[in-house]
Structure 1
Amino acid sequence: MATPVLDQFLGSVAELVQNRDGVKLQDFLQIEPPLSDIYMRMIDELRQHYASGPQKDAELLRRCEGLVPRSKGSSSWTAFPTFLKLYLTFLRDVNVGNLLDTYNFLKGLVNQCVLALGDSQMGIIVLHTVLYLSKVLAKLAMGLDRRPDLIANILRMEGQADREENVEKVTLVEQSANVVREAFIKCLTDRTGTPGPQGKPEGKRVGIYLMANLCLKLLFQCGKLRNAEQMFASISAQSPPLTYFPASQRVTYLYYLGRYLFSNNLFFPAQIALQAAYDQCHRQAVSQRHLILTYLIPCNIILGRFPSQTLLQRSEAQGLGERFGPLCQLIARGNYIAFREHLSVRSPAADWFARKGILLALRNRCEILVWRSFARKVFILGGFHGDPQAQAQRGPPPYLYLEKLVVATEWLRSQHGRSLNGTSVAHKSYGSQVISTPTDPDYDGLTDSTGITTDSELLDKFGDFLAPDGFFDDRGQWQENIPGQLVDGDPDPDYEGYQLDPYSEYDAADQSSLLMQEIESILASLLTQGLMRGYLTHRKPRFAIPGARLRGALPTGFPNVWQTISARESEDSSVPGWVQPPASAAFGAGTAALAGGSRVVNLKGARPVGVQ
């Protein structure tokens, strides 16, 4: 059979395999359209002389088996000829107009290439090819993920659409991440050179972070960050230090590591990783630096450090000042109502934070900083700062009556006039005096004044919980329920839209004491976290700041938030998932003794036991 182009192609592949030139091999194995003319001629030869079918595919496989070294009559690298045969049949049979078939075909090709990568002697040759094919697979998977109509078709074709709802479905992006993870494992477990964190990247280990970064990109795309936990643990245990790898790989890995730590509320190590990624990122990589700042800035805000105007004026920070500037101002002002409104679900400003995945972290972690600013301002305006005439004499420490915080809180609410759900707060006489929550939008329109469900859509969604067929009463007897009737009945209209007080028994006339309890709880939390220093008195509720004569009341009672947190967290500055290089020999000798490591003991002049 006359196949000159195919013969030339296979001959070149055989030469590259013999020379172990993986970079040029990856250049030869192209799959992304548009392909050059010589590839199109090879495809015509494949379709003419090796048409789709078991017999022709077997003949094509036999031709590919001759490209690798043989030992004792058989190929020593059996996975590679199968991969090359799949590559040629992919070019021959793929229909780029059918993206779903293309994805499945390409996933099988990448799987086979990963198997070829696993060979201890020859696998390194296809490392660059695995990375190239994995990137194409990831690009295709993320493109299909944006086409739900095509995703629904493939689910029906594979019989997954009829599965039970409690069975989590694996998306195409997650499937691609699983394929890339296998390549990552083969690179990580390669025995070339010195294994473990003490060694340098050799052999397939040079691809550890290339594969890890691509896998992390896919996991972030499909929202399966928990699947990355084992990956980071394996890297910590087996990977060479990150500093031995190129800057592009280091920056990308630290960026994803920082985002992962941020999502797990490990903000201080996340800040270290993201700051290192920003510092090592090239100045001309503006878009990459912008992405890093998108998460580095909120991480620092949560830790009490606001971005400077110098930073926000840089080209890579374009647009970020408009997002984070108002938030920092609200925290500094201490207006907790305005802060909640700014980050409420219905706020236009919150949409961007939600799309970036940082909204909940900002809402949950920054409000305590708002209360600190609020207490600090009230102390400045209405607190006792100490008697300057009695510095040498014993006198009372600076203090603040908590009743002033109660009055300031009520005044702040009166300035807004309405709570987040649009109801007046001035007459509020129940539940949480400080914290009011809007009605869950999922339950809007749930009942009318009779307590009967009027929204059929909500009944379908929540009916088994709110209006079941029956329930057990307080004596354990089963009671039938009228269809559509709320089990708990229609709640008191006065309680609508507010969070109930867990301590339900209280004197309605003693509302100020409830607000005082909440103020005391908030200040106690601030004191426990070290964001305020001093103590609380309960009988005559006060916040006192002892030891303020040397530094003053404000620096003593309200220490710098960033310095406080960093001093506490810096006791263990290690970042999970970031492998650092080993200490130098001189330094390591001293630390090894402290850590109980190997030691050299001089026994010269030692006497036998019992000899004086």
Structure 2
Amino acid sequence: MSGQGTPVLDRFLSGIADLLKTRDGAQLQDFLQIEPPLSDVYHQMAGELQRHYPNGSAKEEDLLRICDGLVPRTKGGSSWTAFPTFMKLYFSFLRDMNVENLLETYNLLKALLNQCVLALGDGQFGVIVLPTVLYLSKVLAKLAMGLDRRPDLIAHLLRIEGQSSQDDSVEKVTLVEKSANVVREAFIKCLTDRSVGTPGIQGKPGGKRIGIYLMANLCLKLLFQCGKLRNAEQMFASISAQSPPLKHFPASQRVTYLYYLGRYLFSNNLFFPAQTALQAAYDQCHHQALAQKRIILTYLIPCNIIMGRFPSAQLLQKPESQGLAEKFLPICRLIVRGDYIAFRDHLSENSPSTEWFARKGILLALRNRCEILAWRSLVRKVFIHGGFHGDPQGQGQRGPPPVLYLTKLEIAVRWLQSQHASSEAGAFTQSGLSTDAQAGHNHAGSQLVSKPPDSDFAGLHNVIFEETGVDQAIVAKFEDYLAPGGCFDSAGQWHNNLQGNLVDGPPHVDYGQYELDPYAHRNDAAVIPGSGKPTEMMRELESILASLLTQGLMRGYLTHRNPRFAIPGARLRGALPTGFPNVWQTISTREGEDDSVPGWVQPPAPAVATSLGASAAAGGRVVNLSGARPVGVQ
């Protein structure tokens, strides 16, 4: 077919032409191998290409004409012009591939895949190269992720091309992200195929649509690798609008897609739909695929913990759960114990336990979402031991509801802080003395969370302003605040301050007369007795309980004066079940009202048949008469 001196290339081209006539895409993919180690046939063919069609010579046009003869001809002539170009690039890749230059190999492979995706877009013959597109995409993804983990292998090549000296203010596109963009184009070609069957969510996979989730899964894998999950949002929206139901695809594709969908929803704090998708992936995963099931559990378990459902001993004893118990059980125990200080220390930056959670991308979700559960456990324990549970003798009579005085909760918190601040703190935390244990002695700011002082105000803590003068160094540092160019007076009139005077006068140390000053030094012992004012810690505890009530994790109401938490309606079920409902049941009941999962295409619900013949005759239309007025009423 090509001429003398290329017997291997001639046989190869003849085989490709036969496969195109029979539309055998799977066998075509077997022919078009590029990943080392290659068999001797491909090395012989590469030698023939180097001798007869060298790079940059006029013979390359002859190679393209030879490849053009591979495409089957129709009456109106073939319009599949992208395939001959793809085959020419394939032969060029075999001829020019240099495993010593990985960056050049990556660029050649990306160009080859780009052209194959263009060939995939043909409505008549494109489906033939679908297996080849998937194969090339996998090889490109493997190469890109390998280089992403070892950037030192191509750092010198990037410097030569000038890519590493780009402006730091411009976000750099990594090789993995570039690969994901190419694979996304193939995914779009598969999703929008209209050549076979009924398009949209009503149809079944056929033609190129059988590759929707194959390409989607590979693209999602690349996006998770490069940390560009935001780019996956449009993919899920397109799948929801145009993909056939997921149930029509093989189990391997379903499991992989639901795993990535669950991780995406988890990263966006949509924990209930994430739990639904991950649970379905775990249930449908093959029982012998222990590694895959363990990866799914790595995200399914924290998703359930956040919603108040802890892993059972039976689950943690399964082979796929090996090593997960030592990761998650300490968190569960700290939540049940209600020790919020130890919980923070366990997931703090300096804790040895956090590296694994951070690497998996679940540290912030556990740290930010589970602490409220620890507070709930602490409040519940204080209520059990120090709250009023109601009069057991007056069940049939009207009496006061169960109540917890929040001063007892404050005492429990201060006791917890003192225990961590003592020399035996190591019995409570792994990291020794906790900084949060000292928060109860803060003169300003939170009494529960210890935060370092703002560096902008670091010089103001111990400054003493004499009556005869002002520290000019402080004025120079904060002159835009203390001595601005102008200000408004109490009447709302603007006054220029050209002399640079202190607009509020010399600052004073004693701010005690200003009750709303958050940085005032107030002695709690002087404020509490006889004043009826809550301490600063009490205000924070009220806010925490208000958050628990708003989320439905506790039920009842708060009284601000003489702070209390009351549980009305506890006469039938009891104080604990009423005031502290099951967290998982509460969340699942609320979230389960809409059982749909964004990005998961389910078969459409069957139409509900009407029992009235008139409704059927009217086409099933429903008329809302709730706002209609009686006849004759104006």
TM-score, structure 2 length as denominator? Answer: 0.83
- Could you tell me which amino acid in structure 1 is paired with residue 321 of structure 2? A
Residue pair 2:436, 2:449 contacting (<8 A) in 1 also: no
Classify the secondary structure of the residue corresponding to 1:394. Answer: coil
Residue pair 1:65, 1:75 contacting (<8 A) in 2 also: no
- 2:556 maps to 534
Identity of aligned residues (%): 70
- 1:22 maps to 25
Residue pair 1:131, 1:210 contacting (<8 A) in 2 also: yes
**CA deviations over 1:130-182 (Å, ceiling 9, x no partner):** 00000000000001112222443344344333332221000000000000000
Counterparts of 1:374-413 in structure 2, within 5 Å, are 374-413=378-417
Task: Tell me if 1:583 matches 2:587.
Answer: no
**CA deviations over 1:303-352 (Å, ceiling 9, x no partner):** 00000000000000000000000000000000000000000010001111
- 1:97 maps to 100
Structure 1 residues 537 and 389, CA gap change in structure 2 (3 angstroms): same
Structure 1 residues 502 and 520, CA gap change in structure 2 (3 angstroms): farther
Residue pair 1:420, 1:438 contacting (<8 A) in 2 also: no
Classify the secondary structure of the residue corresponding to 1:230. Answer: helix
Alignment counterpart, residue 224 of structure 1, candidates 228, 232, 239: 228
Partner Cα distance (2:325, 2:64) in 1: 59
Partner Cα distance (1:503, 1:447) in 2: 18
Structure 1 residues 312 and 127, CA gap change in structure 2 (3 angstroms): same
Alignment counterpart, residue 619 of structure 2, candidates 593, 596, 599: 599
- 1:359 maps to 363
Pairwise CA distance, 1:42: 1.3
Partner Cα distance (2:40, 2:318) in 1: 46
Task: Tell me if 1:128 matches 2:136.
Answer: no
Structure 1 residues 198 and 474, CA gap change in structure 2 (3 angstroms): farther
What is the aligned residue count? 558
- Could you tell me which amino acid in structure 1 is paired with residue 102 of structure 2? L
- Could you tell me which amino acid in structure 1 is paired with residue 345 of structure 2? E
Structure 1 residues 87 and 556, CA gap change in structure 2 (3 angstroms): same
- 2:497 maps to none
- 2:571 maps to 549
Classify the secondary structure of the residue corresponding to 1:524. Answer: helix
Partner Cα distance (1:380, 1:252) in 2: 45
Alignment counterpart, residue 81 of structure 1, candidates 77, 84, 94: 84
Counterparts of 1:252-331 in structure 2, within 5 Å, are 252-331=256-335
Partner Cα distance (1:548, 1:130) in 2: 64
Partner Cα distance (2:86, 2:280) in 1: 40
- 1:606 maps to none
Pairwise CA distance, 1:422: 8.4
Task: Tell me if 1:428 matches 2:442.
Answer: yes
- Please list every run of 5 or more consecutive structure 1 residues that lacks an aligned counterpart in the other structure: 452-467, 479-500, 603-609
Structure 1 residues 203 and 2, CA gap change in structure 2 (3 angstroms): same
Task: Tell me if 1:188 matches 2:202.
Answer: no
Pairwise CA distance, 1:76: 2.2
Partner Cα distance (1:271, 1:502) in 2: 45
Partner Cα distance (1:345, 1:70) in 2: 66
Partner Cα distance (1:149, 1:561) in 2: 48
Residue pair 2:8, 2:45 contacting (<8 A) in 1 also: yes
Structure 1 residues 450 and 427, CA gap change in structure 2 (3 angstroms): closer
Pairwise CA distance, 1:290: 0.2
Structure 1 residues 255 and 353, CA gap change in structure 2 (3 angstroms): same
Alignment counterpart, residue 58 of structure 1, candidates 56, 61, 80: 61
Alignment counterpart, residue 41 of structure 2, candidates 31, 38, 57: 38
Partner Cα distance (2:94, 2:565) in 1: 76
Residue pair 1:69, 1:76 contacting (<8 A) in 2 also: no
TM-score, structure 1 length as denominator? Answer: 0.86
Partner Cα distance (1:244, 1:343) in 2: 42
Pairwise CA distance, 1:427: 3.5
Structure number, greater radius of gyration: 2
Residue pair 1:213, 1:252 contacting (<8 A) in 2 also: yes
Partner Cα distance (2:584, 2:375) in 1: 16
- Could you tell me which amino acid in structure 2 is paired with residue 551 of structure 1? R
- 2:151 maps to 148
Pairwise CA distance, 1:589: 4.3
Partner Cα distance (2:206, 2:328) in 1: 43
- Could you tell me which amino acid in structure 2 is paired with residue 558 of structure 1? F
Counterparts of 1:463-542 in structure 2, within 5 Å, are 472-477=480-485, 503-505=518-520, 507-509=522-524, 510=527, 513-542=535-564
Residue pair 1:138, 1:218 contacting (<8 A) in 2 also: yes
Partner Cα distance (1:342, 1:213) in 2: 34
Partner Cα distance (2:82, 2:459) in 1: 64
Which shows bigger deviation, 64-73 or 353-362? 64-73
Pairwise CA distance, 1:73: 8.4
**CA deviations over 1:365-412 (Å, ceiling 9, x no partner):** 001101000000000000001111111111111110000000000000
Classify the secondary structure of the residue corresponding to 1:573. Answer: coil
Classify the secondary structure of the residue corresponding to 1:296. Answer: helix
- 1:177 maps to 180
Partner Cα distance (2:347, 2:517) in 1: 25
Classify the secondary structure of the residue corresponding to 2:558. Answer: strand
Partner Cα distance (1:590, 1:330) in 2: 54
Q: How large is the Cα RMSD of the aligned pairs?
A: 2.9
Pairwise CA distance, 1:588: 4.4
- Could you tell me which amino acid in structure 1 is paired with residue 58 of structure 2? Q
Residue pair 2:440, 2:447 contacting (<8 A) in 1 also: no
Partner Cα distance (2:602, 2:440) in 1: 57
Residue pair 1:79, 1:116 contacting (<8 A) in 2 also: yes
Residue pair 2:439, 2:446 contacting (<8 A) in 1 also: no
Structure 1 residues 519 and 600, CA gap change in structure 2 (3 angstroms): closer
Partner Cα distance (2:406, 2:437) in 1: 27
- 1:163 maps to 166
Alignment counterpart, residue 336 of structure 2, candidates 322, 328, 332: 332
Partner Cα distance (2:552, 2:143) in 1: 49
Partner Cα distance (1:153, 1:142) in 2: 18
Pairwise CA distance, 1:85: 0.7
Structure 1 residues 112 and 272, CA gap change in structure 2 (3 angstroms): same
Classify the secondary structure of the residue corresponding to 2:592. Answer: helix
Residue pair 2:307, 2:583 contacting (<8 A) in 1 also: yes
